[in-house]
Structure 1
Amino acid sequence: MDAFVMCFCTAWEQFLKAILIERDGEECIFRKTSKRGLKETVSLRECLDKVYPEKSNVRKNIEQIAYLRDQAVHLLMPEIQGIMSRVFQSGVLNYTSKFEEFTEVSFLNSSHAGMISLVGEFKSPPAAIMKSTYGDIASEIIELASSVQQDVEASDDIEFAIPLNVKLVFATDAEDGSTIAIARADEGIEGLKKALVIEKPVDRAKSHPLLQKDAINEINVRLQGRYDETKLKKHLSGTCRKTGMPAINRNCFDAILFKNKWKQSNNRYHYKNQYPEIRYYSNDLIEEFIKKVMENESYLKVAKDSYNKRKVN
C-alpha cells in the first residue's frame, strides 16, 4: 500500500501537468522563481484545483490517496486493505479512462486487465487485537478505516470507491445483448486467475476497409457534399488539381493523423497489417477527421505547420 500511494500520486501529478501544458502552455506548471533561483513546479493539489471542480469524485479520490501519502502512510496496515482497495481500484479505473480520453491511445495492452486485487475481507479485526498488535497507534488506524468507510458510503460512487453492489467482471456479450460473466471480483483472486482473456481476431476488411488514397478521396467527397466552396476555403489550405475545389491532400491527411497519434497503434481509426506492412483506415476516421478540421478554421493549418516543421528538423 505504501508503494501504491506513492506511485499513484506521482502518476496523477505528471498526467495533470501534461493536461495543463497542453491547455495553458508550459509556464503554467511553474511557480515564480524562488530567491535561490530555483524553478519549482506546482504540487499535485494545485494541479487538481486547475483541472477538476471541487465536487468532482475523481478529484476526491485523488485527494484521499494523497492524504494517505502525506499524512497517514504510517497507518497503512494490512488490516485496512479491505476498504482501501476499493478506493485504490477506483483510482486506477479513473486514471485509465482519463489517460485514454486525453491521449486517444490505450493505457495498457489489450491482453492486460489493468486491475489491482480487491481484498475480500472488508471488516477490520476487533480493537483488542489491533491494540495488542500495534499498541497506541491502533486507535488511529481504526479511526482512519472508519473515516474512509463513512466517506465511501456517503459517496456511493464508483469514481471515488468501488461500491459493493458493483461487480468487476471479465465478461463478454451474448448474442441477445446480455452479459456473460467469466469471473467476478467477489470470487477472489483465484476467480480472476481462472479468467481467460481471449483476443478476438479483427475482421480488418469490415472494420478498416480503406487504404490511404481511398480515405483521402472519401474525405474530400464528403467535405464537398456537405459544405460550400467559401466555407471550405476557410478551413482547407489545398485545392484539387482536377476540379480546383478546396481539398485535403496526403500531407493534410498525415498531419492530422500525426497530431492525434492515430498511427501509433491499432485502434478504431487505424490498423497496421504486419506482413506485408500496409496501413488501413476506418469509416470512423473519415467522420472524426472531418469533424476536427471543420470545427476550427485554423485546426488543419496548425497541424500541418507542426507536422512539416518536425519533418524538416
Structure 2
Amino acid sequence: MKKIEDKLLEKSIEAFSMAIELYNKPTIKYRVEGFSLFICNAWELMLKAHMIKSYGESSIYFPDNPGRTLSLENCIQKVFTNNKDPLRLNLEKIIELRNTSTHFITEEYEMVYVPLFQACVLNFNEKMESFHKIDMTKIIPQNFLTLSVSMKALSETEIIAKYPEEIATKMLDMKNNVDAISINNNAKFAIRIDHYHYLTKKKDEATSFVKIDSSADASVKIVRELKDPNNTHKFTAKHCIAIIRDHLNKNNIELFYNGVTTKFNSFHFNNFCRYFGIKCNEKYCYIHRQFSQPQYSYSQQAIDFIIEELAKDPLHILDKIKKIS
C-alpha cells in the first residue's frame, strides 16, 4: 500500500501538469484562473507531503480539529517561516489571485501575473527536487515549463476606459503593488517582462504606432541611448550589503565603528549614500519613480566604490561618514 505522502505527491504532480497544460493551450480563455487554481493545489499537496516526511502525519492537521487538514496558507507559513522570502511572497500573491478568480477576473490580470506564474513554476521545480528528489523535467519537458505568453503592455488608459472606476482602480493598484514588490526581490518572486518602444522610420517593421502631439497633457522624454536599469542597476540595498560583507570577509577586512569591530549593515550603507551622494549619482543609483514612494536600485559600480572606500580606511571610515550625515 502506498504511503499517504506518495499519494499526495502523485496528485501534486498531476495538478502541476494540469496547470502547465491549461495555461499553454491557446484556445482556452480561462487559463489565468485555471492556472492559479491548479498551481495552488499542486503546492499544497507537495508541501503536505514534505511536512509528513519531516514532522509526521499529524503536522498537516489542525491541532484542535484532527479531522481537518491545514490550508495552503498554513502550510506556507510552517515551511517557509521567513515572511520576507520572495518565494513565499510569490505564492501569497498567487493565492490572492486564486481567491479573486472565484468572484471576478478580467483578461488583463494575465499581464500583471504572468511574471509571477513563471517564477512559481521554477520555484515548484526547485522545491520538488530539494524536498522530494523529483526532477520535474523528466515528467514535463523543459521547454514546456516556459509559459506561453501572448500579450501587450498593460495600458492604464485602456483599463480606465474599459472598466468601471472601482474595477479599474483595483486592477491598477494591484499592478503597482506587484511592481513595487518585484523591485525589491529576485527571480523567485517574479520573472519580469519588459516592453521597449523605439523610434524608427521603418513603419512596416513596427508592431504598434504612436504619434507626437505637442498639445498633449502628458509628456515623454526621447532618449538616444537605451539603458535598462534591470541590467545596469540591478541590486537592491539588501543585495549590496550582502555582497559588500561577503567581500570584506573573503579579504579579511575588519571594520570598526565607535572603536569596536562591527559588521557592515544598512545603517552604514545609508550613511555612505548620504555622505557621498550616491542616490543623486546616476552612475551609482537608479530611482524608480513610478511608485507612490521612490524605490532605489544600485549598480555594480556603487558596490565597488563602497568596497574601495572601506578598504582604504577600515578603522575610521564608518565614523567619518556618520559625522556629516
Pick the TM interval, shorter chain.
0.3 to 0.5
- Which of the pair has more CA radius of gyration? 1
Normalization by structure 2: what TM-score? 0.45
Normalization by structure 1: what TM-score? 0.46
